[in-house]
Amino acid sequence: MRALFTSTGLHYDGTMGNDARTVLNDALALDEHDRADLAAELLASLGEPTSDSQEEIDRLWAVEIERRSNRAHSGESRSEPWDEVRSRIEHNLAAG
């Protein structure tokens, strides 16, 4: 499969096999936070983007930043106070 950049983001031009479809259906049943973590791990496993166009990559990041900003402003995204996040990070780092 090869990655294609479209106006709505990154898509793949291939047919998903039965195993992948089963995994996708299971993943879609996860809560949003777990789906985001899983998506990040899967994307990281793909390596470098297939497009050599830095402009296209920048455009896609701008679209993503706008999407996240809209979610934050609408209250759709869950947020946490920085003090709590920092405390949790420090605790996790100290634990190992």
pLDDT tens digit string along 27-79?
Answer: 999 999 999 989 988 888 887 666 668 888 888 899 999 998 998 889 888 88
| C-beta separation of 5 from 56 below 8 A | yes
Helices H / strands E in the chain, number of each: 4, 2
**Residue 93 binned pLDDT confidence (cut-offs 50, 70, 90):** very high
pTM beyond 0.95: the answer is: no
The CA angle 92-79-23, to the nearest 5 degrees, is: 75
Residue 63, CA distances (Å) to 9, 19, 74, 77 in order: 8, 31, 17, 16
| C-beta separation of 27 from 35 below 8 A | yes
Enumerate the domain spans of the chain.
1-51, 53-96
